[in-house]
Every structure is written in structure tokens, then in C-alpha cells.
Structure 1
């Protein structure tokens, strides 16, 4: 195995731009259209709700990631707090959440390109030729990531300047040229009510977009001064993108021609709708903006695909380094790049692309599993406040009012899964149950016992996952309808607080590994 170590070349701007680069990808090209179809003008509220939900998680991870800065840090927290079995379960969740993003960005590029080559996609679903083009793009993302982290972040920073300028210019141009106030009231501000507003948070790409903040966390171990750089990058990126995406949604709704709403918001349609912002620009006589947007359809998702490929490999690397995946995945190149992890991320991404060759299908799934992956953060933070007392283990960044904000972040994260609906929850939790059964079968065949597994630390996860699935299954979206939005949200809140209390009892009472690692990085 190579003795080369990961390099600490990531500065504050590189980390900030890595998170912004993760958030300004395909989401801005399609999110406004999908959110408007689901919630109408009230989709503006959906972007605010989604941003606040992720901001709560961002605050939690600003404290955790500065305590234990390392690549793939999200895998480390459950391992230090609850032991190997809990960490292994969360490593599966994170693996699925990360490796599915590069295919999403590749699908976005090909979907926009289908405006020129219609044979690549039909009705938002890629054809055989479209899937081949997406696979080629994923391979390109992987090749770029063979360079050292400094080079990857330099490429990402250069792309991010473009990615910031184009959406900002789009907002300004659309509002200046065509802004119909009537669009905000034509069918009512919230035509589908609160259910539509909340469904848009999970189902339109909003949460998927905001979860890009995690890029800085996964690169924490490659920053020279993570205590200063990480809070700046994590929190700053979320706040910036909340403003940017609210502006884009406002401009999109106001720019729609009257005929586009002839069949209501659910039937929203206009020439070029498969490339919504570019189509609007062409309709409004802005050919320069349309051409720029078609170019950006390759650059923005491509940049996000590159940076997500970077962090997916780091998550796999961290899992292998912690003994949760084969050690061969820790092999590094001379440039300090986890080669085997990159290869696995590419192959696993193909497994998502082939059965789900649609942007909307992929992002709804990723939104739920991404929030579930990061939901362990508030639980770990609450436990570490007890097992790693601040008097002895001071925080480089301390989250104020953590007793309130950590539970709030956990509740809101679980609500996002609930809002995605039962169809997504069934697929998500069934996949996890099968993976767990296969793992237990493997361990039983190998050792003829399961007593060696750290059951105590993971005990809270089983009622958590089952309870979250059950409430969603009984909920209003694709479920049995026995719970409404209000009663379902109340049930989620009660479950979250109960699970948080149980998790604190299951946490390692004296986490020696966490204490040793703290002193190594302090």
C-alpha cells in the first residue's frame, strides 16, 4: 500500500467554492421548474424551508467537523460515538448517497443536450444513446479526479466563478425583460396547499441541491487550517445559495408567458421546457442568454459532478481506513488520490444510472438518503456534549444553543424523508434492510456467531429506521393516508425526540478512540 498521505492544500476559498460548486449544479437548471409544477408560486417558500433545514445541519457539522477534521468525516462521527456496527450501517447510507450524485449531474448535461440531439432523451428519460453519453461524462469526472486535490479544487474554483455569474445574470435579465406579477396569483399563490409546498422540498431537487454544503466537510482532512476554514465554508455556502435559489425561483415564475399556465401549474409547459431557463430566454428574445445557458448546462452540472466524484472517493476511503470496507480501497496514488475508491465510485454510479435514467427520479431518492446520511450528525453532537465534556475537550467552533438546535436539526431532517413520501421510503428502507441481512449472513457464515458486533451502539437505529418508515407509510403522500401533514409531522417530532434520548443511552460511555483522535488533531 502506498505511504503517500492526503495533502493539506485546501484553503478557505477552495473549501467555500467546493460547497458552492456542489450546490450550484444541475439543481438550478431544473429545480425551479419542478418546484413550480409541484407547489406553484409557493415554491419560493419551499426553497426557504429547504435552506433553513440544511442550515441547521450545517451548523451541527461545523462543530463536529472542526473537532475531527479528516477526509470522509461523516463516517467517523458514528464510529467514534456508537462503534463499528453503527458506523458500518451509516457507511452504507453515505455510500449510496454520494455515488448516486455524479450520475445525476451527467443525466442533467445529457438532458439539456437533447434540445439539440433529440435522440438522447425523450420525456426527461435518457435513451440508450443518452445513457452512453452519460457514462462517458462520468468517466471524464473520474479522469479529472486523478489529479492532486489542489488541481481539482483549482478547476472547481474556476468553474464556480462561471457558475455564479450565469445564474446571477439570468435572474437580472429575466426580471428586467419580462416579469408578470399576475403569475403569482393566477391559480392562487399555493395551488396545492401546504402539502405541495412540503412535497417540493424533497421531490423537486431542493434538498438535493442544498446538500452540496457537505463537500467542505468531506475535504476537512485536506485543509491546512480546518478550525478556521470549515465554519466559513459550510455556513457561508448555504446562506449564499439560499439567496441565489430564491432569486432564481422568483425570476422563473415572473418570466413565464401567460400561455404556459393554460393547464395550471401541474401542466406547466412552453417551447423549450426541457431546458427551462434557456427555453424562457429564447422565448423572451434573449438569444445571448439562451446560448450562455445551454453552455452552462454542461459546465454547472459538470463542475458539480467533478467535485461530488472527489468527495465520494473520500467517503469510501474513510470507510476503508476505519475498517468498514476492504483496506485495498485506501490505496493512494503518488498525487495523494484514492485510486481504488475513485474506481468503486464510478462503478457504483453506473448501477444508479442504468435503472434510473431520469433527473427527477434520481434526485427524489438522493434527497431522502442524503438527509438520512447526515441525520446522524445531530445525534452524535448531542452525545459528544456528554461523553466529551467541553471543559476537557473545547470546541474550535461551538454551536450555541445546541440543546435546542441539535434536536431541531434531527426533527427537520426526518421531516424531509416524510415529505418525500412512502414510495421513496419503501425503496430506501427496503434496500437498507436487504444490505443489513446480507451483511449479517456473511458475518454468521464467517464466524458462526454475531455476538462480536457492536449491537449496543447501533440499537437505536433499528427503531429509528422502522419508525420513520412506518410514519411515512401511514402518511398522505403515496401512503395509506391515515396521517395528514400535521399529524404526521407531530409523529415525526415525537419519534425524533424519543430516538435522540435512546441514542444517548446507547452511545459509548467512555469513547476512548474519540478522545485519542481529539488530542491528535487539537
Structure 2
């Protein structure tokens, strides 16, 4: 029997590049056009809203990540604050949101590589049998990179992120030389109104692009000096990513040729947006670079998410509500290898024939934001239930920022539309029932099922109400229209404030934060 432990080998630069590496993926390749189709020239406002929303959430997690540096912390915090049942529900949502990203990024790589190797896909962009196997081989390569060592993984990721940051910056500079200010009034500044801007935030890949900030939280258990480096890495990754994406959206809108806008922004359709735009402007050399980078950028993100999915599965298993084998860590490599295997298999699953990139990122965005809504509640609850907790980064204005973060996250979920919310929220209610049916297998020795339910009812009622609001809400967001805009969103805001304060009041009075002083103290008694 040998002990295995997570190894603290990641520096501030590594953590920041983990965030940026996840942020600069397929999002920058597709989201600018998706945003323009939804919101027209005003799409940059959607990026600004997305950046502010994620920054508010990120600031909350900066306090949590600094005070409780745990691998897969996004799953651990709700378990600490509200018990295993809430942790279980968030674990299921995270399973969807994390596991799918590596597969989506591999799909994006294959789609751009098809420019040179046409046998990889059909004219409509779907993978051929050969294309699917190439995607699988790419994921296998990332699996092997992660399998050997977290240190090797971190250094490779830092190199790739530094490399792929250069191409978006070059694109911004070059496209500014073909900038047409008149494009910002072509067919109206906001042809879809503010509703179009709101839809773009959640379904155009904007929130999806910013979700990479969570990597610093997920790898907190493997960071050097995590109380200092985790909060700084979160803030840096979101800030730099926001500046980059807003500039990319502005230059994309400004550089589109007038003839491409003959039928309006909604009908703008480039298969490879930035690369095709560069070629249309007579910049074949830039198009070639963009097609090459379109393979590199998603590869770095796929590599990161394959690894972070394993940390989330590890964290979920540590709560006692997922398979215990996922807690096993290789003593030599310091990697949770069983969880990494499952992460690899799940990423392959998401490369099977599914809907378009835009539809999938809507699912991922909503599922991820669903896991984030607990962060503000947990952080505010800990201020009351664990006042002596050492907080190297103490968020000023928590009483304002935390509820705003919860409300904005709720709006993003609502903006994602009924077609996605129906099965995503519905699945949460189903797994809640499954937990109740299997309660004898769940951890109830320290926290009774009755106590767990008392700490969970606020979340279940919140899900039920959001389910109903999404169905009866505005037709602009896929609802029946029984509750028109803006009254639908006003109700979402009111319900969100009520759920937030109810959630704080429902927290465990004595959170057991001493279960794991550090990950290094845990005895993993199997040598993988």
C-alpha cells in the first residue's frame, strides 16, 4: 500500500495560463460571428455584460479559492456549506459542463483542419469516420499528457497558451487596417434589440468563452501558495480575456465587407469566421495563420478541460456521493488517474454526432453557470457560519457582489432558452429524486437526510420556479409568451434574490471544514 497525494507544483503563471488557455479556445474562433448574428454591431456590449457577470462570480470564487484551496473546489464548497445533497446536485451539473468541453474543442480542431485535409469532414462540416478517429486520437494524446504528471501538463499548457495568444493579437492589429465605422450602423446598431444582446451572452459562446477562469479553482489543490496565487490568477485571466474578446468582436464587425451584409447580420455566415474574413479581404497569409492557430487554440483548451474534468470527478467522489474509486491518486505522478480515465471516455462521448457548436456551447454555458450559482451563496454563508476562516483574499462588498452574481447567473440560465433549460433543469430534479431513492448509499452518518433536505429545499424550489419561468416566459427566449418581456426577467430577478437569501439561511450552522486540512494529508491507499 502506498500513499498518493496531489502535488503542489503549479505557479501563479501556470494558474493564470490555465485560465487564459481555457478562455482562448474555440470561443474566439466562432463566437464573434455568433454574437454578430444575434446582436449585430452591438455584440461587443454582450461581451462586456458577459465579462462583468463572470468577474462578479470570479471575485466570489477568489475568496473561496484562497480560503479553501481544494482540487475541484467548485464541487467542494457547496458540500461544505450545505451538505452532500447540494454537492451531489452540483456534481451532476459539473459532470455535463466540464466533460463536454474537451470533446467540443476536439471537434473544432477537426473542423478547421478540414481546410487542409478535406477527408476529415463532409461539406456541411460534420465529421467523417476518419475525422472522428482523428478527434479520438487527439483526445488520446491529451489524455497521455495529463496521465504522466501535473507538472508536465502545466508547463506544456503554459507554452501553448503563450503561443496561441499571439495570433488573436495579430488578428486584431491587422483587421484594424480594414476597419469600416459605417458597419456599426449597417442594418441598425442593435437589430435584435436588447433581447438579442441578452441571447448572445448565453448562446453565442460568450459566457462559454469566459468559463475558463474556474481552472485556478479546480487546480487549487496543486498550486504553490494557493491562498495568494488562486485569487490573482482568477482576476488576471478574466481581465485579460475580456479585453482580448471585446477587441476581437469590434474588429470583426468593423472588417466585414459591405457585400457580405446585404441580407443583414443574422444571415452572415462564414464557415471559419476570422479565417474566411481574412481571405475575403485579400489577406490569404493571415487566413493560413488563422487556420493553423484554429488547431492550436482548441487543443490547449481541450488539454486543460480533460485534466480539470478529472479534478472535478475527484472532488465529487471526495464528497461521498460519487464512485469512491475516483478518489484514487497515483503516488508517483500525483494525478487522479481513474478520474482521468473517465474524463477521457466522457470526452469521446461528446464527439459523437450531436447538434451544432452553438447549441452545445449553450448547454455547456447553462450547466456551468448552474454550478456557479452556489458559489455566492456558499461564500456569504461562510461569512456567518465560519467567521474565523482565514481569508487571504477577503472580498470587499460581499453583501452587494454576491447577490448580484447570483442574480446575473440566474438571468444567464434564463436567457439560454427553454429548449436547453427544460432538460437541464429537469435533469437536476430527476437526479434529486434518484438521491432520495438511493439515500441509504449516500453519506448520512454525520449529516442526516432530514438535515440535508432542510439545506436543499431552497435550491429545489428555485429550480422548479426557474423551470416554470422558462416555459411561460418570453417567446424571445423560447417560452410560450404568457409572461412577456421585460416582466419575465423582472420575475427572475425577484425570485433570484429570494432564493439567494433563503439559501444563506439554509446553510449548515457548523460547516465541517476540517475534514481535509490539505489534500496532502489524505491517505489514498491504492497504487494506480
Per the TM superposition, whether the score is higher than 0.5 is yes
Q: How does 1:44-443 map to 2 (within 5 A)?
A: 44-119=44-119, 120-176=121-177, 178-269=178-269, 273-333=270-330, 334-356=332-354, 358-389=356-387, 392-443=388-439
- After superposition, the Cα gap between the structure-2 partners of 1:225 and 1:350, relative to the gap in structure 1 and judged at 3 Å, is same
Contact 1:68 1:518 in 2 (8 A): no
Question: Runs of 5+ in structure 2 lacking a partner?
Answer: 521-528
Contact 1:81 1:384 in 2 (8 A): yes
Question: Runs of 5+ in structure 1 lacking a partner?
Answer: none
**What is the alpha-carbon distance in structure 2 between the residues aligned to residue 427 and residue 452 of structure 1?**
26
C-alpha distance after superposition, 1:91-130 (max 9, x if no partner): 1111111101101101111121233344514434444443
- 2:3 is aligned with 1:6: no
Alpha-carbon deviation of 1:253?
A: 0.8
**What is the alpha-carbon distance in structure 2 between the residues aligned to residue 28 and residue 520 of structure 1?**
35
- After superposition, the Cα gap between the structure-2 partners of 1:480 and 1:433, relative to the gap in structure 1 and judged at 3 Å, is same
Runs of 4+, deviation exceeding 4 Å: 444-447, 515-521
Contact 2:75 2:90 in 1 (8 A): yes
- After superposition, the Cα gap between the structure-2 partners of 1:249 and 1:18, relative to the gap in structure 1 and judged at 3 Å, is same
**What is the alpha-carbon distance in structure 2 between the residues aligned to residue 229 and residue 80 of structure 1?**
22
Contact 1:53 1:413 in 2 (8 A): yes
Alpha-carbon deviation of 1:29?
A: 0.4
- Residue 38 of structure 2 corresponds to 38
**What is the alpha-carbon distance in structure 2 between the residues aligned to residue 330 and residue 379 of structure 1?**
26
Three-state SS of the structure 1 residue aligned to 2:502 is helix
Alpha-carbon deviation of 1:496?
A: 1.0
**What is the alpha-carbon distance in structure 1 between the residues aligned to residue 6 and residue 286 of structure 2?**
41
Three-state SS of the structure 1 residue aligned to 2:148 is coil
In the alignment of these two chains, the number of paired residues is 512
Three-state SS of the structure 2 residue aligned to 1:145 is helix
Three-state SS of the structure 2 residue aligned to 1:240 is helix
Alpha-carbon deviation of 1:226?
A: 0.9
- After superposition, the Cα gap between the structure-2 partners of 1:44 and 1:2, relative to the gap in structure 1 and judged at 3 Å, is farther
**What is the alpha-carbon distance in structure 2 between the residues aligned to residue 328 and residue 35 of structure 1?**
42
**What is the alpha-carbon distance in structure 1 between the residues aligned to residue 468 and residue 480 of structure 2?**
10
**What is the alpha-carbon distance in structure 1 between the residues aligned to residue 38 and residue 392 of structure 2?**
42
C-alpha distance after superposition, 1:312-347 (max 9, x if no partner): 101111111221212211222221111110111122
Alpha-carbon deviation of 1:510?
A: 1.7
Contact 1:124 1:359 in 2 (8 A): no
Once the two structures are overlaid, the 10-residue window that deviates more, 111-120 or 411-420, is 111-120
C-alpha distance after superposition, 1:25-78 (max 9, x if no partner): 000000101111111011010000000000000000000111110111111111
| TM-score between the two structures when normalised by the length of structure 2 | 0.93
- Residue 525 of structure 2 corresponds to none
Alpha-carbon deviation of 1:357?
A: 5.2
- After superposition, the Cα gap between the structure-2 partners of 1:352 and 1:433, relative to the gap in structure 1 and judged at 3 Å, is farther
**What is the alpha-carbon distance in structure 1 between the residues aligned to residue 517 and residue 485 of structure 2?**
42
Contact 1:89 1:436 in 2 (8 A): yes
C-alpha distance after superposition, 1:443-487 (max 9, x if no partner): 46999xx97462122121110111122112222211111233421
**What is the alpha-carbon distance in structure 1 between the residues aligned to residue 488 and residue 255 of structure 2?**
36
**What is the alpha-carbon distance in structure 1 between the residues aligned to residue 2 and residue 175 of structure 2?**
53
**What is the alpha-carbon distance in structure 2 between the residues aligned to residue 56 and residue 298 of structure 1?**
31
**What is the alpha-carbon distance in structure 2 between the residues aligned to residue 393 and residue 435 of structure 1?**
32
Once the two structures are overlaid, the 10-residue window that deviates more, 127-136 or 308-317, is 127-136
| TM-score between the two structures when normalised by the length of structure 1 | 0.94
- Residue 489 of structure 1 corresponds to 489
Contact 2:220 2:226 in 1 (8 A): yes
Contact 1:458 1:506 in 2 (8 A): yes
Contact 1:423 1:478 in 2 (8 A): yes
**What is the alpha-carbon distance in structure 2 between the residues aligned to residue 488 and residue 161 of structure 1?**
43
Q: How does 1:436-475 map to 2 (within 5 A)?
A: 436-443=432-439, 452=449, 454-475=452-473
**What is the alpha-carbon distance in structure 1 between the residues aligned to residue 394 and residue 139 of structure 2?**
38
Alpha-carbon deviation of 1:395?
A: 1.4
Once the two structures are overlaid, the 10-residue window that deviates more, 154-163 or 480-489, is 480-489
Contact 2:426 2:467 in 1 (8 A): no
- After superposition, the Cα gap between the structure-2 partners of 1:518 and 1:143, relative to the gap in structure 1 and judged at 3 Å, is closer
Alpha-carbon deviation of 1:159?
A: 0.5
**What is the alpha-carbon distance in structure 2 between the residues aligned to residue 510 and residue 92 of structure 1?**
25
Contact 1:68 1:517 in 2 (8 A): no
**What is the alpha-carbon distance in structure 1 between the residues aligned to residue 363 and residue 519 of structure 2?**
37
Contact 1:11 1:229 in 2 (8 A): yes
